[in-house]
């Protein structure tokens, strides 16, 4: 995920595959400093650019095995499962929030932050 963050990447995948994606917001790793900056600036961290990250969609039957393999590599230490693909709500991303509610995670319109590089 790069410009538009995890939310935009997941929306592109859901739309292209015509599947639904259920995202567990609490499972998305967001460093404390990034979370604090987003709160201060009124930004949603799901839409913040995060270059150099991998978003992998794999069969559920091998997800834990792949995750364990990723953890064996220094760059994969923080790898985690953040959601699942579903037949419900094709083409959409729905997030389960930290308080147990659900919300639609739309494709970002415009940019939260100006590009500086």
Domain regions of the chain by residue span: 5-104
- 110 has a pLDDT exceeding 70: no
11 — pLDDT class (breaks 50, 70, 90): very high
**pTM, to two decimals:** 0.85
115 — pLDDT class (breaks 50, 70, 90): low
Q: What is the pLDDT of residue 82?
A: 96
Higher pLDDT, 74 or 2: 74
For domain 5-104, the question of CATH label 3.90.650.10 is answered with yes
Higher pLDDT, 115 or 79: 79
- 74 has a pLDDT exceeding 60: yes
DSSP 108: P
Q: What is the pLDDT of residues 12-71, one digit of tens each?
A: 999 999 999 999 999 999 999 999 999 999 999 999 988 888 899 999 999 999 999 999
* Surface-to-core class of residue 1, CB atoms within 10 Å of its CB (0-12 exposed, 13-18 middle, 19+ buried): buried
2 — pLDDT class (breaks 50, 70, 90): low
DSSP 36: H
């Amino acid at each position: 995920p790069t410009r538009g963050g995890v939310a935009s990447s997941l929306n592109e995948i859901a739309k292209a595959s015509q599947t639904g994606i259920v995202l567990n917001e609490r499972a998305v790793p967001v460093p404390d400093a990034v979370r604090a900056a987003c709160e201060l600036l009124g930004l949603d961290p799901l839409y913040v650019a995060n270059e150099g990250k991998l978003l992998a969609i794999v069969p559920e039957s091998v997800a834990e095995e792949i995750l364990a393999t990723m953890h064996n590599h220094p760059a994969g230490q923080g790898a985690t499962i953040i959601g699942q693909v579903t037949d419900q709500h094709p083409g959409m991303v729905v997030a389960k929030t930290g308080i147990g509610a659900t919300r639609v995670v739309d494709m970002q319109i415009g940019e939260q932050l100006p590009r500086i590089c």
